[in-house]
């Protein structure tokens, strides 16, 4: 079956760095997405990785290893507004999106 795993909840301190991991097992692979989701709002696209390596966008970076079925989202210089759920999603061979259950990130002062 197809499966995406990510931690349910993580806690970090304002100003620090946090890494949210995502492992996947899917039928084919056409890219991995990370979204930020504040409850009651539309999710926000953060990153897209289809090749191995690190993609950096400001305070956020995303890494992919296709051979390991593994990705992580790295958030630096954490701010209180970064408290949200972070969703990992993989596009399979049919371009169907397989969603992880999301990681709730709690930022403490």
Partner 1 sequence: GAVVSQHPSWVICKSGTSVKIECRSLDFQATTMFWYRQFPKQSLMLMATSNEGSKATYEQGVEKDKFLINHASLTLSTLTVTSAHPEDSSFYICSARVLEGSPLHFGNGTRLTVT
The contact set with partner 1 (CB under 8 A) reads 30-31, 33, 35, 37, 39-45, 48, 85, 87, 91, 95-97, 99-102
Nearer to partner 1, 17 or 45 (CB): 45
Report in angstroms how near the CB of residue 30 gets to partner 1 at its nearest.
5
Nearer to partner 1, 16 or 38 (CB): 38
Angle at 71 between CA 67 and CA 72, to 5 degrees: 150
Nearer to partner 1, 21 or 30 (CB): 30
What's the 3-state SS for the chain? CCEEECCCEEEEECCCCEEEEEEEECCCCCCEEEEEECCCCCCEEEEEECCCEEEEECCEEEEEECCCCEEEEEECCCCHHHCEEEEEEEECCCCCEEECCCEEEEEEC
Report in angstroms how near the CB of residue 19 gets to partner 1 at its nearest.
19
Report in angstroms how near the CB of residue 67 gets to partner 1 at its nearest.
20
Nearer to partner 1, 17 or 97 (CB): 97
Report in angstroms how near the CB of residue 31 gets to partner 1 at its nearest.
6
């Amino acid at each position: 079956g197809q499966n995406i795993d990510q931690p349910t909840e993580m806690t970090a301190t304002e100003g620090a760095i946090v890494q949210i991991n995502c492992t996947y097992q899917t039928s084919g692979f056409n890219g991995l997405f990370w979204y930020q989701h504040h409850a009651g709002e539309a999710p926000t696209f953060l990153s897209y990785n289809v090749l191995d390596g690190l993609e950096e966008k400001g305070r956020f970076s995303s890494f992919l290893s296709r051979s390991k079925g593994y990705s992580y989202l790295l958030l630096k210089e954490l701010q209180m507004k970064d408290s949200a759920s972070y969703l990992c999603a993989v596009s399979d061979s049919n371009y169907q999106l397989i969603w992880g259950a999301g990681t709730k990130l709690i930022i403490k002062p």
